[in-house]
Amino acid sequence: MAGQLKEVRNRIKSVQSTQQITKAMKMVSAAKLRRAQDAIIQMRPYAKKMQEMLSNIVSNAGGGAGMTLAAERPVEKVLLIVITSDRGLCGAFNANLIKLAKATINERYPDQFKKGNVTIWSIGKKGYEHFLKTRFTVTDTYKDIFLHLNFESVQKAAQAAMKSFETGEFDVVEVIYSQFKNAATQKFEVERFLPIPKVEAKAGATKADFIYDPSQEELIAELMPKILNTQLYKAVLDSNASEHGARMTAMDKASDNAQEMLRSLKISYNRARQAAITTELTEIVSGAAALQG
């Protein structure tokens, strides 16, 4: 009985220590989430308007010089930029992104994958480790972006993707990331990066007539790379905020589960202790009765 009580006491101490860790991690994630949330909320309206402007220009400009990043061609080689996190303990966040990446390959690019023509650039260590382990074609060039997250580091990845598209190394580039909604909700997205998607004209809609100054070619050549840099940076900021929100929620649930486990263990401990006291009293009474007899 004494051994059983000691075992329960040890388990209680272990769960209490775990609960302290999960509560601390929740507080750290909450602090990081506030900063990450502010960053994406400030970036999102600007990035959205820039993307709309670029898509409208591409849709109305037609072909010609400066439109290489919008050129549609048969898809033979595919690049997926998958944005995961560097660390775990954030619920199903990374698993859902990896699952979406695999589903995208199976649904959209099964033939290219069979030929070995699907390449993954992983931003975040968790995605890189998984795809490397499961023998996908994955590169580690940009996996450490979250160690020093800034516009310049993301811009390097965006420019490399643009150059690879222009040279024909890839025919399509997709970004797979988590769009931040709130601390408890993330929306997992597949977004076309290249070629630049065009806006579908609505029936009866008047075609926009732009006046270009400087020339259309100069403007597009200047705008396209800058806007694409911004789009990838927005996706990375979205995923960063989503990660901290997912971790904060996961640690909150873990703390609640630990509290429930503590309650159950304390009940078990009290029952075992009461049983031990009852046994001791019974032995004392039985011994006293034997002496009297």
pLDDT given for residue 183 in this prediction: 83
**What domains are there in the chain, each with its CATH number?**
25-199+210-251 (3.40.1380.10)
Is it the case that residue 179 has pLDDT exceeding 80?
yes
Cβ atoms of 25 and 250 within 8 Å: the answer is no
Q: Tokens for 62?
A: 């037609």
Q: Which residues are catalytic?
A: 90
How far apart (Å, rounded) are the C-alpha atoms in residues 144 and 127?
A: 11
Q: Tokens for 63?
A: 């072909």
Nearest to 183 by CA among 63, 36, 39: 36
**How large is the average pLDDT for residues 33-41?**
92
Q: Tokens for 127?
A: 């995605």
Is it the case that residue 125 has pLDDT exceeding 90?
yes
What digits encode the pLDDT tens for the residues 244-276? 999 999 999 999 999 999 999 888 888 888 877
Nearest to 262 by CA among 7, 4, 11: 11
Phi-psi region of 124 (alpha: psi -120 to 50; beta: other; left: phi over 0): left
Strands of 67-218 (E only): list them.
78-83, 118-123, 138-139, 172-182, 185-194
Given the DSSP bridges, would you call strands 185-194 and 172-182 parallel, antiparallel or unpaired? Answer: antiparallel
What backbone torsions phi and psi does residue 227 show, to the nearest 5 degrees? -70, -40
Helices (H), 182-215: none
Average pLDDT, the chain: 87
- How far CA 226 is from CA of 67, 73, 154, 161, 260, in Å, comes to 14, 23, 12, 13, 51
The pTM assigned to this predicted structure is 0.85
pLDDT band with cut points at 50, 70 and 90 for residue 63:
low
How far apart (Å, rounded) are the C-alpha atoms in residues 138 and 122?
A: 7
Cβ atoms of 2 and 262 within 8 Å: the answer is no
Residue with token string 């995208």: 104
Q: Tokens for 204?
A: 């009866």
Is it the case that residue 86 has pLDDT exceeding 70?
yes
What digits encode the pLDDT tens for the residues 183-240? 888 999 999 999 987 766 555 555 556 676 777 777 777 888 889 999 999 999 999 9
How far apart (Å, rounded) are the C-alpha atoms in residues 164 and 200?
A: 26
Q: Is 44 exposed, middle or buried (0-12, 13-18, 19+ CB in 10 A)?
A: middle
Percent of the chain past pLDDT 70, that is, above it, reads 92
**Max Cα distance, the chain (Å):** 116
